[in-house]
């Protein structure tokens, strides 16, 4: 009895299963990384906005200090003029 086994077919090149596995792998990597990239960008822009508002608040505090010093000087000058006119 001769051995009549079918010869094993050796595949050369790219198969459909390789393409499907590659697409699935790329999709999985994108699904896992895109939300992280999005959140990192949102955090970056929010922190820039917070820094901007902190700078504005600091400027306003400094301006308030200057105005209070000017007001004290005016009150002092007015007090001196009132005392000298009496």
pLDDT tens, per residue, the chain with 86 residues: 556 676 666 667 888 999 999 999 999 999 999 999 999 999 999 999 999 999 999 999 999 999 999 999 999 999 988 887 76
pLDDT of 7 reads 65
pLDDT of 57 reads 98
**10: its two tokens:** 């050796």
DSSP 3-state of 27: helix
pTM value? Answer: 0.58
- In angstroms, the Cα distances linking 82 to 58, 74, 75, 78 are 36, 12, 10, 6
DSSP 3-state of 7: coil
pLDDT of 83 reads 85
């Amino acid at each position: 009895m001769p051995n009549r086994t079918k010869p094993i077919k050796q595949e050369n090149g790219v198969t459909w299963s390789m393409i499907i596995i590659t697409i699935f792998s790329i999709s999985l990597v994108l699904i896992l990384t895109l939300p992280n990239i999005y959140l990192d960008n949102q955090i970056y822009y929010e922190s820039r906005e917070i820094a901007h508002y902190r700078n504005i608040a600091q400027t306003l505090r400094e301006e308030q200090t200057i105005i209070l010093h000017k007001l004290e000087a005016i009150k002092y000058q007015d007090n001196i003029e009132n005392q000298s006119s009496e």
